[in-house]
Structure 1
Amino acid sequence: MSHLKNKSDQVAGKTKEGLGKASGDDKLELKGKLQNASGKAKEKLEKAKDKVAEKANDLLDKKDKKKDDSQKKD
């Protein structure tokens, strides 16, 4: 769900930026740029969080496998 929200922020930001440029409204253009940048930053953070969770799960799986293998030997 947050992926869609991040993309939505990017699209809304680009729209505001374009409207601001077209109308000469510098504040609206800046708000659009900030909203777009915020959406991109959140998206990158979400991807990084997913990668960390994946690596943590891989390490836990390896630990569990070693534990299972050592119990089988006993």
Structure 2
Amino acid sequence: MAVRSLYRYVRHRIRHIPSEGVQYLGICTRDGRGQDSDPQREETAAQDWMLKHAGMTGHQFFLRMVVTDYAQVFRD
């Protein structure tokens, strides 16, 4: 039997790139309106938006998300 193809498995790793940082987002879940903080470079900026929004509207429930985590693939 002839070999038609040969598979090479090479290990890779994915790492966070600290110099690129991450982006944070707060989303109000009340009534499906989807109001959000816009992506922020600082976690406290997204949290401040949630606190201000809760104070102005009385809404209490939010999604707190890391929107973007820059990564790079490395070959072992």
The two structures share one fold, judged by TM-score above 0.5: no
- Larger strand proportion, structure 1 or 2? 2
**TM-score under structure 1 normalisation?**
0.30
- Larger helix proportion, structure 1 or 2? 1
Q: Looking at CA atoms only, which structure, 1 or 2, has the larger radius of gyration?
A: 1
**TM-score under structure 2 normalisation?**
0.30
